[in-house]
Structure 1
Amino acid sequence: MAATSNAAADDDAAASPLDTAGPRAASPPDTVDPAVRRLVFTLIVGALAVIFDTTIMSVAIDSLAGQLHTSLATVQWVTTAYLLALAATMPAVGWAQAALGGKRLWILALCLFFVGSMLCAGAWNAPSLIAFRVVQGIGGGVMMVLMATLVMQAAGGRNIGKVMALITVPTALGPVIGPVIGGVILHFGDWRWIFLFNIPFCLVGGYLAGRNLPADRPVSGTRPRLDAVGMLLLSPGIAAVIYGLTQLGGSDGIGSVKVVVPLAAGVALLAGYAGWALRRGAGALLDIRLFRHRSLASSTVLLLLAGAALYGAMLLMPLYWQQVRGESALGAALLLIPQGVGTLLSRSVAGKFMDRVGARPVAVVALAVTFAATVPFGFVTPTTSNIMLMAVLFVRGLGLGAAMIALMGGAFVGLSREEIPAASSISRVAQQVGGSIGTAVLVVILQRAVAGSHTPADLASGFGAAFWWAAAFTAAAVPLCLLLPGKAATEAQGQETASAEQLAEV
């Protein structure tokens, strides 16, 4: 970074209500500021509504089809429409924050998610529910990007690992509690409670946001202009790619028009955006020149692979227990709890080690552990011990939790404050697209592997083949972790931030 840009970033940080020198000056250099912790807690409460809604829905599709008296293909759009709205909204969050300010944008997005949840609970048929899920997706997409942006800007590049461990609490809690809550709701109550369950988090989160988030303002005196051309290229391009991937599991296969056309259109739109963004530079919706930072470029690729390994395997595991072992949705969700517990337990340790030794070694070890703990699922049979599989899932959760801390935190090393919103959008989109790729590919592999299977042993063998691919996604990411920033880059970031704070105090 040039000295002038650093000085500008420091001035912005000093002027921002999210970055105050006082709390940091009173805090030891290796601890997270109390002001940042309070900010994280406030944002987490609202974000839990989005995370729980997503994970609860993962076990509800089959029940929704029956209760709404529609086909599984139709009700699948309840998830697909939400996913598309989520992904299409993410690129514009940086511009919206600059135009409205972080606090106002967060409260607006939370209100939108609240309204969407109420509408979903009042839906009268599948088409209305699908439409209302789009409203939810828009609010949720803004919140998931903005949460990381606000916290990383407030932290100012210090203790990234510990801060990322705090931010990822909702992501870790969701897979543990969400499916269980969904199973209980569907077992004892009406499907509408899936959406009504979000309401307390929205209300309490809105109250805390109004009370605890610092009053802010747009980043400049003049309202920034929306890159309309970029928006028309990038958001539909991402949505088209994700939609094409979701159709891979259809009966027509990979050569289907439903797959080829949206994928081709999406790739063309993304290529068009790349050319447009390179010419427009900093005025683009997302400045892709940020990929000059090796930390962001390597983290983006790794998040694609990690998203594929995480979400793809999360699809396979409950299906294995339901289709091969005959478990209910609630039973399968309970068997997945050890993985979530492992994810929760490894976060704080991974955050501390990342701040101490850098993202690179933490990611290498974490993904190697994740790979080793995925391999046993390649040998599953109809009688494999559930105790053994749950123990393996616990270890896998330890690896996944640590890996996501390193990969997501590593993306922000070396970035200035004004670059964080775009980096946050890029990393979230990468994780979302990676999850769609992993889910789509593993669904196709599983369908082909179990085609013609008539016995539990044949089904288990098909699942084993799909699990081997999930392990392969993880293995491919391990050597790429060597491109992540190491200890020197992380220490330099912290020293640069400390120097900026001292200058601001003077």
Structure 2
Amino acid sequence: MTTPPDNVAPADPTTDKLDAAVLKIAGVVVLGAIMSILDVTVVNVAMKTFTSTFDTTLATAAWAMTGYTLALASVIPLTGWAADRFGTKRLYMMALVLFVAGSVLCSTAWNIETLIAFRVLQGLGGGMLMPLGMTIMTHAAGPNRIGRVMAVLGVPMLLGPILGPILGGWLIDSFSWHWIFLINLPVGVVALALAYIVFPKDKPEPSQTFDFVGMLLASPGLALFLFGVSSVPEKQTVLAARVLIPAIIGLVLLVAFVFHALRTEHPLIDLHLFRNKQLRFSVLTMVLFATAFFGANLLLPTYLQEVRNLSTLKSGLMLAPQGLGAMLTMPVAGRLVDKIGPGKIVMTGLSIIALSTAFFTQLSSTTPYPAICAALFVMGLGMGCTMMPTMTSAIQTLSRDQIARGSTLMNIINQVGASIGTATISMVLTLLLKRNPPVPPAQPTSPDPSALAEFKLKMAEFGAAMSKHAGEAFAHTYIVAVCLIVLTLVPAFFLPRTKPEMPADSDEPVLMH
């Protein structure tokens, strides 16, 4: 296990306020996390640029995103063991170096193949930043302040999908595609210097052997499963060979890993943590919420660009109220979770999200923008009460030597839920868009001016009908998102509604029920 650093005083168990030392650590962690999370979404807006620059297809260019995501997912299982073995500070700095080096190399890519390869390198570093950041912050804050520090870490997790398209669109329009990667260099260098100065010194005392069998099962299993799931939107069916074959092989490897992990004393991913009742319900809540949230998150930007014809930058700015709402409630929710437990907070947040998402089931091609912004703001208020309080619910039940493994587990769950949600919502939307679309008018057979005028009129009517059809397809897809959010209320109901008490002589919480 990783022992407490020798140059930092232990957290005061009598206070729940965040002192300056913890806030400094949180600031460095957020700087690294926001780079990693932004990079997942900032590349989305560059897909058309990549296809023209590298003379390739959109399906091939999409591997710049898929490769990053798969590398990110495959390295997460290793993070818990590596943190115990090498220490969180050293591993975090190494992850930053990998991420920044991958970013710089991406900006030098001369074809799509090299860009994909460099994105994989970038993902290997990015995948470790979030679980390591969670571990470092929870160690620094102590058990009584986990809710507050997790609220701080929640800022990049919620704002990343919103700010990514805005930043990416601005950099490409104002400079060039290279800058969506080069922007990470100065930020990464600052984060690396601050991590060296601010993070407490490591004193790792590795007591566990590396689970090679677990690595050979879990990492490729997770990557193959997510690759299969991520191929659903492109193939538009779960029955395609590109979806089924890797997903089934991945599932077989993951099932084999479960049997292996339950029989191994020190597995790569500690499934024995599921003996903890609170963590079990936290994981169920997180996977359902991630499926609903990240799945629904792709709908509105697509609707604004495809149905309302807004630019990438304008559609990104339209999403800003959601981030604002989350920023208002997240610090309050973090304080309340530390005082009264996560149960009431998460249930309230999910209820608010369900009600605001229900508004979008009435979406049309003419829905007023102020109404959309108001609904997004309310949704953001709910988001701030949901994601990080659920994470806190899992982490606050763990002893100090379990936190690295627990953080790794929750990040894997988050990644799996996000991939399943994106694939599910994309497939539903595609099917609805294809169902009974308007029929375009036939081309006029003669150059007669009256025939051409009539054709233009019919084309205008066809365009309006297509917009109406698309608006209805988006609205009906949101019904799936609402159902998933309502379903999330079931495991959330079992989250504790009282604060875990921490004995003065132990890191183990005594859960009050």
- TM value normalised by structure 2: 0.90
Q: Which residue of 2 aligns with 1:477?
A: 488
Q: Distance in 2 between matches of 1:215 and 1:425?
A: 21
Q: Which has the larger radius of gyration?
A: 2
1:334-483 residue pairs with structure 2 within 5 A? 334-451=317-434, 452-454=436-438, 455-483=466-494
- Give SS of 2:118's match: helix
Check conservation: 1:88, 1:236, Cα contact below 8 A. Answer: yes
Q: CA shift at 1:252, angstroms?
A: 5.8
CA offsets, 1:326-370, max 9 Å, x none? 111111111111111111111101111111221111010001101
- Measured after TM superposition, the shift of residue 290 of structure 1 is 0.5
The one of 153, 162, 166 aligned to 1:180 = 166
Question: By how many angstroms is 1:48 displaced?
Answer: 2.3
Partner of 1:270: 254
Q: CA–CA distance in 1 between the matches of 2:258 and 2:19?
A: 38
The corresponding residue for 2:444 is none
Structure 1 residue aligned with 2:446: none
Q: Percent identity, aligned pairs only?
A: 36
Is 1:84 aligned with 2:52?
no
1:6 is aligned to none
1:18-56 residue CA offsets vs partner (Å, 9 max, x unmatched): 8623xx34x861212332222111222222221222231
Q: How does 1:249-268 map to 2 (within 5 A)?
A: 249-251=233-235, 253-268=237-252
> Conserved in 2, the CA contact under 8 Å of 1:413 and 1:485?
no
Q: Tell me the amino acid that sits aligned with residue 457 of structure 1.
A: K
Tell me whether 257-266 or 52-61 shows the greater mean CA deviation.
52-61
2:133 corresponds to which of 143, 147, 159: 147
* Counterpart-to-counterpart distance in 1, 2:49 and 2:322: 24
**Structure 2 CA distance, aligned partners of 1:166 and 1:108?**
23
Deviations 1:145-202 (A, max 9, x none): 1000111122221122111112222223323432211111122221111001111210
Quick one: distance in 2 between partners of 1:213 and 1:346?
A: 28
Structure 1 residue 59, shift from structure 2 partner? 2.5
Kept in 2: contact 1:366–1:399 (CA 8 A): yes
1:236-267 Cα deviation digits (max 9, x unpaired): 11111111111111336211111111111111
Whole-angstrom CA distance in 2 between matches of 1:81 and 1:199: 21
CA contact (8 A) 1:176 1:341 kept: no
Q: Give the partner amino acid of 1:141.
A: G
Q: CA RMSD in A?
A: 1.7
1:263-342 equivalences in 2 (<5 Å)? 263-281=247-265, 283-342=266-325
Deviation track 1:297-352 (CA, whole Å, cap 9, x = no partner) reads 11111111111122111111100011111111111111111111111111101111
Q: What CA deviation, in whole Å up to 9, does each residue of 1:429-451 have, x standing for no partner?
A: 11111000000001110110001
Does 1:116 pair with 2:125? no
Q: Which amino acid aligns with 1:473?
A: L
CA offsets per residue over residues 420-471 of structure 1, 9 Å max, x none?
A: 1111011001111100000000111011000153411111111111111111
- CA distance change for structure 1 residues 197 and 316 in 2, over 3 Å: closer, same or farther? same
Aligned-residue offset at 1:140: 0.5
AA matched with 2:16: D
Task: Provide the residue aligned with 1:20 in structure 2.
Answer: 9
1: distance between equivalents of 2:292 and 2:432?
18
Find the counterpart in structure 1 of residue 463 from structure 2: none
* 1:59 counterpart SS class: helix
The match for 2:27 is 41
Secondary structure in structure 1 of the residue aligned to 2:144: coil
Residue 405 of structure 1: CA displacement? 1.9
Alpha-carbon distance change, 176 to 440 in structure 1, aligned in 2, over 3 angstroms? closer
Q: What corresponds to 2:456 in structure 1? A: none
Give the letter for the 1:334 counterpart: L
Contact 1:278 1:289 in 2 (8 A): yes
Larger mean Cα displacement after TM superposition, 152-161 or 315-324: 152-161
Contact 2:325-2:384 at 8 Å conserved across structures: yes
TM-fit CA distance, 1:219: 2.6
Alignment coverage as a number of residue pairs: 479
Q: How many Å separate the matches in 2 of 1:172 and 1:344?
A: 9
In 1, Cα distance between equivalents of 2:7 and 2:86: 15
Aligned to 1:4: none
| 2:220 aligned residue (216, 226, 236) | 236
**Partner SS for 2:420:** helix
Q: Which runs of 5+ in 1 are unaligned?
A: 1-8, 502-506
Rounded Cα–Cα distance in structure 2 between residues aligned with 1:191 and 1:365: 41
Give distance in 2, aligned partners of 1:190 and 1:392: 34
Question: Which letter does structure 2 place at the counterpart of 1:233?
Answer: L
* 1:76-108 residue CA offsets vs partner (Å, 9 max, x unmatched): 111111110001000110111122111110110
- Which residue, 168, 174, 181 being the options, matches 1:195? 181
Matching residue's letter, 2:480: W
Q: Secondary structure at the match of 2:231?
A: helix
Q: Distance in 2 between matches of 1:440 and 1:410?
A: 27
> Which residue among 223, 232, 236 is the counterpart of 1:248?
232
* Corresponding position: 1:161 with 2:147: yes
d(CA) in 2 for partners of 1:135, 1:36: 30
Alignment-derived partner of residue 17 in structure 2:
31
Taking the aligned partners of 1:301 and 1:63, their CA distance within structure 2 comes to 39
C-alpha change, 1:19 and 1:169, in structure 2 (3 Å) is: farther
CA contact (8 A) 2:220 2:250 kept: yes
Q: Give how far 1:388 is off.
A: 0.2
2 CA distance for matches of 1:18 and 1:416?
Answer: 21
For 2:82, the equivalent position in structure 1 comes to 96
Shift of 1:482: 1.5
Structure 1 Cα separation of the partners of residues 40 and 123 of structure 2: 10
Question: Which residue in 1 is equivalent to 2:460?
Answer: none
Most deviating of 32-41 and 315-324: 32-41
SS in 2 for 1:491: coil
Whole-angstrom distance in 2 between the partners of 1:367 and 1:473: 11
Tell me the residue number matched to 2:500.
491
Read off the aligned partner of 2:481 and give its amino acid letter: A
Seen in structure 2, the aligned counterparts of structure 1 residues 52 and 301 have a Cα distance that, compared at 3 Å, is: same
Residue type of the alignment partner of 2:285: L
Between 364-373 and 39-48, report the one with greater CA deviation.
39-48
What TM-score, normalized by structure 1, do the two folds share? 0.91
